[in-house]
Structure 1
Amino acid sequence: MIRIVFSLTFFLCSFVFQAQISSKYNISFENAIHHEATINATFTNLKAAEAEFAMSRSSPGRYALHEFAKNVYNVKVTDGKGNELIATRPDPYSWRVKGHDGTIHVSYTLFANHGDGTYAQIDETHAHLNLPATFIYVPELEEQEIEVTFDVREDLDWKVATQLKHHHDNTYYAKDFQYFMDSPVEVADFRKRSFMVKDQKIIFALHDDAASEEQLDAYFQKVKKVVLEQIQVFGELPSFDYGEYIFLACYMPNATGDGMEHRNSTSIPSSRSLSKGGLELNIGTVAHEFFHIWNVERLRPKSLEPFDFSRANVSGDLWFAEGFTSYYDDLSLVRSGIMSQEKYIEGLTRTFNYVWTSPGRQYFTPIEMSYQAPFVDAARSVDDTNRENTFISYYSYGSMLGLALDLSLREKNLNLDDYMTIVWKAYGRTEIPYTVEDLHQSLNTYAGREFGDHFFNNYIFKSGMPDYQQLLKLVGVTLVTKNDIDFGASVRNQRIVNNPKIGSSAYKAGFQKGDKIHKIGEIALDGNVSINSVLSTFKAGVEITVIYERFGSQNERMLTVATDVSYDLKLMEENSKELDKKIKDNRRSWLNSKI
């Protein structure tokens, strides 16, 4: 009797589980050598008389349109009894069918050969899948459950790695469309390492045919250090939906370098094997993407929730979501001992110069820079732009604002870690999407209204530059402003390769991208000469003749030699007289491990 009751209970539970699944997929890779997958999808419980299915136009973590339907063909549709249905195309990314019986079967071929965090790549090394670029979906069924079976290439020893819930064999489950589309998959002959943080498992899955076991072990120790160091910022891990978080590391020569955060995983492809520089150079992406499990995935802008797969997704909060994450990626590397303090300051110097010498601040605030994401975040266009003069990456801009806020708070014996924890507890742990005003008021609560209003009113709602010289001095870093001779445009093989910087000597003289410089004064240029080194032989303010070629004709213009502002950041030496005990303590508090 007990056995009968148990069997009946199991049957009923299985029936209920299966009855809730309205979208089922099977994907196979017989023609992987030509980058094709065969996908069969079954959609049930359809209520609309005219069923619609579509390909996504955007992808979680990316903000531009990508039009994934361009790589879908050989589409065939039948009803639940196998009767052929005619599909019409109301637009380039969707299909509609009438006359179904509540069920439709759709088969199609997918071409995929771009292995980054946005697209998919299929060949005989792997099936690297971003699901919006892979699977059609039925908008009517978005709230219902999904099942997918991967028909892996056993002849290639393929296995499946994903945050999707494992159901049985190579079949996986998602509670709804949003979770399904947010779940990248690596199907390959990969290797795994893992460790536990309390009752949750952190898994590192590596597809890297050239790396040795020793290199994987050494790299995994770095990954572990990053994870444990970043936990210290917030004091806890999020609760992963199925008790696991997985890094999907594809370090293969056919992959494209990228990083893409997801709720319980990250896709981190790179063309660098651990054996060919990746052991040192790939860890920064790990640090950036893991920090996103707090900042973006759960501490989430209201403007991105829910994510809309039918259009570009716009947010004014990326200076915080991406920028503050960028601040913490290298900071966690230096705190964990993976990066030296000197190397960290070198990286800060490059980003500092990029942000604070850009003309872009006169056009857009950090919030408005965030609005540019659909035009720049892996977006493709053929027309020229003037982004050299009008745009500053919200990653870089936000990271510099994170630095400024951290050091400004430390001036008050506070710190950014504690502010992030306050925001996490209010909006991240609770998963209540935030607005920029929520961030503003949280800072007012933590550091005082005067401080919070000053920071947001001057540096977020406007494009002001904080007093970094004073702030950096508090942690034993000197900031020196330099004025060096500068042309104002990059020149390679004598040709100007970007739009001249507004206000520079090249801009004022009327030079354009594409011009070829032949002669400066009496000095003839060749392909190996730096234009700034030539200009540095003249004094600032001197007017000289420049011979150049444009549209096949030789011309001459007058150029006034000019300087441009740049910055240099240096760590004060440990034995420096300026480095007193308080400054040393401030630096340790800022850069040393929190473990």
Structure 2
Amino acid sequence: MKPIRYTIVPKQPAAHLFEITVTVADPDPDGQRFMLPVWIPGSYMVREFERNIITLRAFNDAGRKVRIDKTDKHTWHAAPVKGALTLRYDVYAWDMSVRAAHLDDSVGFFNGTSVFLAALGHEEAQCVVDIRKPDGPAYRAWRVATALPEARGTKRYGFGEYQAQNYDELIDHPVTLGEFELATFKAHGVPHDIVIAGRVVGLDMPRLAADLKRICEAQIALFEPKSKKAPVDRYVFMTQAVSDGYGGLEHRASTALICNRTDLPVAGRTEMTDSYRTYLGLCSHEYFHTWNVKRIKPAAFAPYDLTRENYTTLLWLFEGFTSYYDDLILVRSGVISEDDYLTMVGKTIGSVLRGSGRLKQSVAESSFDTWVKYYRQDENATNAIVSYYTKGSLVALAFDLTIRAQTGHRRSLDDVMRVLWQRYGRDFYRGKPVGVEEADVEALFADATGADLADLFANGVHGTRDLPLAELLAPAGIEFVPDAGTNGKPSLGVRLRGGAECALAVVYDGGAAQKAGLSAGDVLVALDGLRVTASNLDALLARYLPGAKVEVHAFRRDELRVAQLKLDEPEALRYRLKVKDETSGKSGKAGKSGKSAKLGHGGSHGSSDASRGWRARWLGI
């Protein structure tokens, strides 16, 4: 089978147009069919990338037009030709995200799923793509950042030809074009590039490289504790720094990231800010996916069907467990402190417990329904669904603590991940790819650990009961308490939309606002006759005691409504996980009020030395 050849040109940056050609040297004699994916792996929603294709034409090797018909929303059929067949088309690229394609006069970025048509029947053919520079002196300093292997004659970071073994590999290497900051470090001998596109003042690239090196080496050692062998020959962290943005998408040897430019470290400042810690957590999350989901995959993704939804109930394992390890690796690598880590876990617990959707949908159901629910959330989502990311990370925490408690730390969740890697991931791209079957997961956990995890699978994975986290954390000497913040103001049971108006984004199930008939989208204008705005609501509520009755005026669309409501108890904005007093050897107890009572309570569990040792083994400190 002859190679498929692509050319991509940033033809009109001001108009946000890429021009792409694809040439098939040996097209199907019955007429060659082409397809563009409708979704991108890692982002589980049908996005219809075809909508951005314009002016598609087909030509034979003499340059004459060939008839080509669209047969459905993402597939085309060209008339039979003798010799080679070439398609030429433009793609509108104005999506500043990690999922699609973007082009202007400052930067270009694309995922192959948005720009490269697949020649059906030739998916296993080698692909060669010629990446060209835009015309004009303004683009003289532009470079190319990608993990795609260079073809002969192309220099790293240069324009020219790149290659992939097949179409699946071609679309698994995003590309950044433009001017960018660049640094390289080695993690257990493997080069890792850091690419930062976008204007960033005072970027401390050496600090970022040092922190990422520690994170990457900790993850490599987790999966390969003896050999310390990374699953890639080279890796690229590719970040677009913007004024307001956050997200990441994993690929087999790189990740595409977007962040606020203020998230990045500043030269001369050594403090660990919340925003920088969040960015490092994002990098850690996407890097962990190099093993967990890019090579260890659910059976439904081996291989991907890019023409339709791919259903699995296992995203709690692939996304949730990754969300657990992304922060855990930060503390294990020494990038953050133990207190920082416990604070982050407390915030995650708070975010899960704030929504009643966790009592209605299991993480297995959430995984299956991601195509129609998680990525299409509305104002009622928190009351109807649970996140397989956040709840999944707490499920992973519960598994880890349970395994450690039952085996005296002889086994842990790390052993589960290593068995998954050895059975499914290590040779995924070397032979016939095999994915994890849903029915095999519970037995695999048992084989890897010898622990009895049936209850956690029944209630934590397939059920909707709250996890007994306070009970599980007690042996580590950690107490678990709700925290309503500093003012302890009574609650309306709502979350506000951003902006000056006091507009309700979410109305929580069973809260004061819902009981009074208020709805998401309503705009509060007065509280007991006093004007209310987003900026003064907290101060007004702080004047009341829980249980007080107040009169609220609100607009629903253009109609003024009056509601009488009874204020709720202060909302637990987060949950504090803190080490108990170890100087006296006494063990505190988690509070029994509010939602924490559902999570269990721990009494005394041994000496302070034992608790410190327990945490040291768990956190690797």
Q: What is the identity, as a one-letter code, of the residue corresponding to 2:455?
A: H
- Whole-Å separation in 2 of the counterparts to 1:117 and 1:457: 35
**Local SS of the residue matching 1:446:** helix
Query: What is aligned with 2:559?
Result: 553
Residues 161-201 of structure 1, C-alpha deviation per residue, up to 9 Å, x if partnerless?
32222212221111111111111112333454334455643
Change (3 A) 1:467 1:521: same
The answer to whether 1:245 aligns with 2:234 is yes
- Whole-Å separation in 1 of the counterparts to 2:276 and 2:295: 29
- Match 1:571 to one of 579, 593, 614: 579
**Local SS of the residue matching 1:497:** strand
Q: What is the identity, as a one-letter code, of the residue corresponding to 1:442?
A: L
Change (3 A) 1:568 1:150: same
**Local SS of the residue matching 2:23:** strand
**Local SS of the residue matching 2:204:** helix
Change (3 A) 1:161 1:553: closer
**Local SS of the residue matching 1:202:** strand
* CA-CA distance at 1:426 after TM superposition: 2.3
Unaligned runs of 5+ in 1: 1-19
The answer to whether 1:71 aligns with 2:68 is no
- Are the counterparts in 2 of residues 56 and 133 from structure 1 also a CA contact under 8 Å? yes
- Match 2:347 to one of 350, 356, 361: 350
Q: What is the identity, as a one-letter code, of the residue corresponding to 2:397?
A: L
Change (3 A) 1:245 1:315: farther
- Match 1:487 to one of 489, 492, 495: 492
- Match 2:510 to one of 503, 513, 529: 503
Unaligned runs of 5+ in 2: 155-159, 267-272, 429-433, 587-606
- Are the counterparts in 2 of residues 117 and 258 from structure 1 also a CA contact under 8 Å? yes
**Local SS of the residue matching 1:474:** helix
* CA-CA distance at 1:280 after TM superposition: 5.3
Equivalence map 1:37-436=2 (5 Å): 37-153=18-134, 155-168=139-152, 169=154, 170-197=160-187, 200-208=190-198, 210=200, 215-236=204-225, 244-253=233-242, 256-272=245-261, 274=264, 281-375=278-372, 384=378, 386-412=380-406, 413-414=408-409, 415-431=412-428, 432-436=434-438
Query: What is aligned with 1:3?
Result: none
Change (3 A) 1:395 1:526: closer
**Local SS of the residue matching 1:42:** strand
Change (3 A) 1:477 1:98: same
CA RMSD after TM alignment: 2.8
Change (3 A) 1:549 1:464: same
- Whole-Å separation in 2 of the counterparts to 1:444 and 1:22: 45
- Match 2:447 to one of 445, 448, 454: 445
**Local SS of the residue matching 2:94:** coil
* CA-CA distance at 1:102 after TM superposition: 4.9
Q: What is the identity, as a one-letter code, of the residue corresponding to 1:443?
A: F
- Whole-Å separation in 1 of the counterparts to 2:194 and 2:322: 21
Residues 254-288 of structure 1, C-alpha deviation per residue, up to 9 Å, x if partnerless?
89532111112212233416466876552222111
**Local SS of the residue matching 1:502:** coil
* CA-CA distance at 1:159 after TM superposition: 2.8
Change (3 A) 1:426 1:395: same
Query: What is aligned with 1:9?
Result: none
- Are the counterparts in 2 of residues 334 and 340 from structure 1 also a CA contact under 8 Å? yes
Change (3 A) 1:327 1:261: same
Identity %: 25
- Whole-Å separation in 2 of the counterparts to 1:44 and 1:68: 26
Q: What is the identity, as a one-letter code, of the residue corresponding to 1:423?
A: L
* CA-CA distance at 1:459 after TM superposition: 0.9
- Whole-Å separation in 1 of the counterparts to 2:459 and 2:521: 38
Change (3 A) 1:23 1:500: same
- Whole-Å separation in 2 of the counterparts to 1:491 and 1:270: 23
Change (3 A) 1:495 1:254: closer
- Whole-Å separation in 1 of the counterparts to 2:93 and 2:365: 34
* CA-CA distance at 1:541 after TM superposition: 4.2
Moved more, 452-461 or 437-446: 437-446
**Local SS of the residue matching 2:506:** coil
Q: What is the identity, as a one-letter code, of the residue corresponding to 1:305?
A: A
Q: What is the identity, as a one-letter code, of the residue corresponding to 2:494?
A: A
Query: What is aligned with 2:602?
Result: none
- Whole-Å separation in 1 of the counterparts to 2:177 and 2:506: 43
- Are the counterparts in 2 of residues 142 and 177 from structure 1 also a CA contact under 8 Å? yes
Residues 288-311 of structure 1, C-alpha deviation per residue, up to 9 Å, x if partnerless?
111111111111111222112112
- Whole-Å separation in 2 of the counterparts to 1:360 and 1:95: 42
- Whole-Å separation in 1 of the counterparts to 2:296 and 2:385: 26
* CA-CA distance at 1:376 after TM superposition: 5.2
- Whole-Å separation in 2 of the counterparts to 1:81 and 1:547: 73
Q: What is the identity, as a one-letter code, of the residue corresponding to 2:279?
A: N
Query: What is aligned with 1:525?
Result: 532
- Are the counterparts in 1 of residues 248 and 282 from structure 2 also a CA contact under 8 Å? yes
Q: What is the identity, as a one-letter code, of the residue corresponding to 2:613?
A: D
**Local SS of the residue matching 2:564:** strand
* CA-CA distance at 1:489 after TM superposition: 0.8
Change (3 A) 1:158 1:551: closer
TM-score, normalising length: structure 1: 0.88
Moved more, 185-194 or 413-422: 185-194
- Pairs aligned (count): 567
**Local SS of the residue matching 1:454:** helix
- Whole-Å separation in 2 of the counterparts to 1:318 and 1:265: 21
Query: What is aligned with 2:463?
Result: 462
Residues 451-473 of structure 1, C-alpha deviation per residue, up to 9 Å, x if partnerless?
22121112111122222112122
* CA-CA distance at 1:36 after TM superposition: 1.7
Residues 406-431 of structure 1, C-alpha deviation per residue, up to 9 Å, x if partnerless?
11222122322222222222222243
Q: What is the identity, as a one-letter code, of the residue corresponding to 1:75?
A: L
Change (3 A) 1:116 1:547: closer
**Local SS of the residue matching 1:166:** coil
- Are the counterparts in 2 of residues 35 and 121 from structure 1 also a CA contact under 8 Å? yes
Residues 25-76 of structure 1, C-alpha deviation per residue, up to 9 Å, x if partnerless?
1112242233222212111222251322232211121111111112211222
